[in-house]
Amino acid sequence: MRSFLGWLLRGLDGLRRVLHLLLLLAIFGFVVGVLRTSIPRLPDKAALVIHPEGEIVEQRAGDPLQRAVAEVRGIGNDETLLRDLIDVIEAAKGDERIQALVLDFDTMSGAGQPTLDEFARAVTDFRQSGKKVIARSTGFTRDTYYVAAHADEIYVDPLGFVLLEGYDRYRMYFKEAFDKLGVDVNVFRVGTYKSAVEPYVRQNMSKEDREESVTYLGSLWDTYLAAVAAARGLEPEALRERIASFADDVEAAAGDASQVALDSKLVTGVKSLLDVEQRLTELVGEDKYTGSYRSVGFGDYLRVVHAEQKLRKQADERIGVIVASGEILDGFQPAGTIGGNSTAELIRDARLDDGLRALVLRIDSPGGSVLASEQIYQELLAFRATGRPVVVSMGDLAASGGYYIAAPADEIWASPATITGSIGIFAAFPTVNRALDKLGIDVDGVGTTPLSGEFRLDRPVGPAAARLLQATIDRGYEEFLARVSSGRTKSRDEVDAIAQGRVWSGIDAQRLGLVDQLGTFRQAVQSAARRAELDEGKYAVEYLEPKLSLAQQLALNVKADLVRRFGAALLPSGDAALLQTVRRLEPLERELLRWSRMVAPNHLYAYCFCSAR
């Protein structure tokens, strides 16, 4: 009996081991399957199809799981990384398997002009290989057409259009609403043109804000027209006139906007999606499985490019790149925002890495917390103190706090259409004592000092608090001027004359000495290499980002894959209608979110509510 029980227990234990092994093999097989699908096989001859999703950005927000959930649910802003676009197009240029490049803009929402220019330059460079670039869309808008204009052939749908509506800057103004609610927004600022707080204390645009907006928007429109006209072989003024008469021309054409685009030489032809597919089949051949042209998608090809980059032997000399994208906030912040602690830590790690010969800071930011900006500024000074160069490359926006963190650089590069400057400081916070009065609620009490209770939400700001805040703001502005004066080798008064919170385009900023060179991110990296005395082609460019462990990265990838595969089945059927309603409230939501993030301990902000998207 005892031997039988022993035999039975040994058998059960063996069965447990076998089942355990099978479970581990199943898990391992799933993980391998996920990883294997990330490196697809490519046809011998195909067109690379780039289909940008949402906005083109310097840095994607959130982690892979969050992005996968947003993708499945159809919420949040889809994003395409500019760096990925450049890498893919550059690799495809020398890849014999890629015979043509297809740009499909139906799901791209837009980007700033400097970002579009980097994208367009990559497209132009690809054309130097002699391979065709085909651009198509149901309807081109200002941003998508900027890139499409650089293609060999541009096709618009017969029911489509090319709508180049120019740049604008309209904002919601809330003073009357706040008055009705009994809410006071207490504002302390320095800078005649520091208009960031105006929506809360005015009901319309100030004369100063209107003046600077007309100037920098006009500059952006001029650079847009020049770039598009050159790409299409047109004169900028002729293009300006055609755009101005667009409504009249479409009306005269009985509503046929696509024919107007063809007559204006903005497109090569008017073709449906099937017609474009036929044209591409002529170029690269037919895929016998799909009946369409032979193609590889952007996502699949990107995984191939990344895999090949990892296998390639890296150069010994390295240039570090840190992307500073989004609002500048205190503490540790996720991707898509700039944390005072998290970004400073990346710069510190770069400083302690002796293998890095130079640092390039890529900035795309409207600014934010002064304390966080100062924290980043000090770390950049510490890196420079090692004798290694710091070069700043400005993207779409490097204003206010975004310019503050650029100030210590050895050299600043910007696009002609970069929005920068806005050197100024403000503090703002709401009080609701009048709202409480309307409800019959009184606040009373005592304090031990002139400042006791002066910063409460339910009491008006007292005179001592107002003097304290304004004095702090004045000093903060002087510190900002001092940072810029030191970095730009200008006197305090010279900087003050072009500061005052005023926004400038990159081309004007260079004329004023706020920017050294106009050019691309790649040119900024090359300049950093020259300053570090590195030979061209003998250094690697390394993006410095917070590191995930192998286990964390694998877990995120597997979770993201699961959500993409099975998450749609879990969505409530009423989500779509609800999301449409939510999207209509996005302008108001953005303003509320801005306020919710303004939690700097000293309430001081170097922030620019300037945009041309």
Residues 454-474 have pLDDT tens digits of 989 999 999 999 999 999 999
The structure tokens listed for 589 are 């939501």
For residue 116, give the nearest of 137, 136, 90, 145 by alpha carbon. 145
For residue 85, give the nearest of 66, 112, 58 by alpha carbon. 58
Q: Which pLDDT score, from 0 to 100, does residue 61 have?
A: 78
Predicted confidence band at 429 (pLDDT cuts at 50, 70, 90)? confident
Q: Which pLDDT score, from 0 to 100, does residue 554 have?
A: 53
**What is the C-alpha radius of gyration for the chain, rounded to an integer number of angstroms?**
28
The answer to whether 360 touches 602, Cβ cutoff 8 Å, is no
Lowest mean per-residue pLDDT among 112-126, 235-249, 311-325: 311-325
Give the separation between CA 69 and CA 478, rounded to whole angstroms.
45
Give the separation between CA 104 and CA 273, rounded to whole angstroms.
10
The answer to whether 145 touches 120, Cβ cutoff 8 Å, is no
> Is a pLDDT exceeding 90 seen at residue 237?
yes
Q: 10 Å Cβ neighbour count for 52?
A: 26
Torsion, Cα 131 88 560 338, to 10 degrees, reads: -140
Catalytic residue list: 194, 400
The structure tokens listed for 142 are 């200002």
22 inside domain: no
Q: Which of the pair, 63 or 530, is modelled with greater confidence? A: 530
Residue 261, CA distances (Å) to 120, 159, 167, 249, 406 in order:
20, 11, 20, 10, 41
288 inside domain: yes
Which of 167-181, 308-322, 568-582 is most confident? Answer: 167-181
107 inside domain: yes
Q: Which pLDDT score, from 0 to 100, does residue 308 have?
A: 83
Q: Which of the pair, 94 or 598, is modelled with greater confidence? A: 94
Residue 92's domain is classified under what CATH number? Answer: 3.90.226.10
> Is a pLDDT exceeding 80 seen at residue 603?
no
452 inside domain: no
Contacts of 308 (CB under 8 A, 6+ apart): 91
127 inside domain: yes
Q: 10 Å Cβ neighbour count for 24?
A: 10
479 inside domain: no
**Once rounded to an integer, what is the mean pLDDT over residues 8-14?**
59
Predicted confidence band at 130 (pLDDT cuts at 50, 70, 90)? very high
Give the separation between CA 441 and CA 435, rounded to whole angstroms.
9
Longest dimension (CA), the chain: 102
> Is a pLDDT exceeding 80 seen at residue 166?
yes
Predicted confidence band at 69 (pLDDT cuts at 50, 70, 90)? low
Q: Which pLDDT score, from 0 to 100, does residue 314 have?
A: 75
> Is a pLDDT exceeding 60 seen at residue 179?
yes
Predicted confidence band at 174 (pLDDT cuts at 50, 70, 90)? very high
152 inside domain: yes
Range of the domain at 141: 46-157+271-307
**Once rounded to an integer, what is the mean pLDDT over residues 100-128?**
97
Lowest mean per-residue pLDDT among 253-262, 276-285, 309-318, 364-373: 309-318
> Is a pLDDT exceeding 60 seen at residue 574?
no
**Once rounded to an integer, what is the mean pLDDT over residues 240-244?**
96
For residue 36, give the nearest of 297, 309, 304, 289 by alpha carbon. 304
Q: 10 Å Cβ neighbour count for 183?
A: 18
Strand 367-369 and strand 604-607: the pairing is antiparallel
Q: How many structural domains are present in the chain?
A: 1
122 inside domain: yes
Give the separation between CA 75 and CA 221, rounded to whole angstroms.
31
